[in-house]
Structures are given as structure tokens and as C-alpha cells.
Amino acid sequence: MNYDPATIDYYEAAAPHYTASTAQDRHRHLDPFLDRLTSDARILELGCGCGADAAHIEKRGFELDATDGTRAMVRKTKERFGIEARVMRFDELEACSAYDAVWAHAALLHAPRGALPDILDRIFAALKPGGWHFANYKLGDAEHPDEGRDPLGRWTSLPSAEWLETAYQTAGFVIIESEQYTGNGSDGVVREWLALTVRKPTEDQQ
């Protein structure tokens, strides 16, 4: 399957809760990622959620195309920050060399693992040569070795760090930075995460 309908249904119902309870500030990886870009960069955000990162991207002056797979989150992004986000699932991305960067904080981890290679191919195609991409993922462990539903009922892919890095390299990306860290998800489960900053090769590197 390309996506999990139950996960989208969860976020449709939970959008008011996320708006009220999630951190109001940007994610800590966002500014270091934006600092890599030129001031005229066009950024695609996948899984904008309630819009905190989107608001900061626009505040810094970048051109933003904010997207989320749930209509309720898109509405909240507009209500809270006035950002005209649009509804788009990851597997609906159809663009060719349209963006300088793709930001996907705690989003692609909800894609079924078997669908991720196709999604990465879509992101690669959507980026201009030399374009940047960030995504972070929850990792599997001895207690949770394989993908499945988290305590909130959301689908989570739970790959290994090695699997993720291989998937990105197979899609054609160059891994610039790989950071493993311990994080607490919104489901209350503390686990290891992997944050990847990758780049599409420039035309002379391909």
C-alpha cells in the first residue's frame, strides 16, 4: 500500500489537539537546514501539520509550498498562521526540478516502508540539481523491530538506520549529515531517531 488511511483519519480527528498541545516553536533542525539554502530558495514542506515550521520558513523569507495529507491540518495551518497550505499525500507528489529544498520533519516515518523508495524517487525528481532534503525517522529496536501501529494507532515504518541510508543512496541522494538521537514522540514512547540531511547531486556530479 502507498499510504495508511487510518493514519490520515487519526490526524483528521486529532488536528485540534495538536494545535493546542504541540510545541509552538520550530523544530531544532530547521534553522541549520535553512542556513544551507540561498535566500531565494523555494521549499516544499511535506507534512506541515499545524504549521509551526511553515511559519518559521516564511518568517525567514523563503518561498514555501506547504502540504499535508489531512484537510484538518491544512485548515489549522491557515487559521493559525495565514499560510495557504494544500492537501497532498507523499505518494501524490508530481514535480520535476521544481524545488530547491524539501523539508519533512517527523512525516515520512508514517509511510509504509514498502512505499518509501517510490516516495524518495518522487522527492529526488522534485528537487533541482543540488537541491537539499531533510527528514527524520523513528528507528526500530529490539522491542519494536518492525513496522506497525504506535500506541496512538498511527502507522510507523520503524526501519534501521542502515536501511534508511541505503534507501536514500539508492534513490540517488548524497548523505551530507546523519544524526542518531534519542527523542520522545507524541505517542509518549522514547526511542532512537535518525535525522538525515541529503542532497541531490548537481548536474556535473550526475
Cell of 8: 490520515
**Tens of pLDDT along 142-191?**
666 689 999 999 999 999 999 999 999 999 999 999 999 998 888 888 99
Half-sphere exposure of 168 (CA within 13 A, CB side): 27
> Which homologous superfamily does the CATH classification assign to the domain defined by 5-18+28-199?
Vaccinia Virus protein VP39 (3.40.50.150)
- Residues of the chain above pLDDT 70, percent: 94
- Please, which residues have CB within 8 angstroms of residue 82's CB and are 6 or more apart in sequence? none
**Tens of pLDDT along 193-203?**
999 999 999 97
Ranges of each domain in the chain: 5-18+28-199
pTM summary value: 0.94
Half-sphere exposure of 13 (CA within 13 A, CB side): 8
Query: Residue 106 has what pLDDT?
Result: 94
Cell of 128: 533541482
How many residues does the structure list for the chain? 206
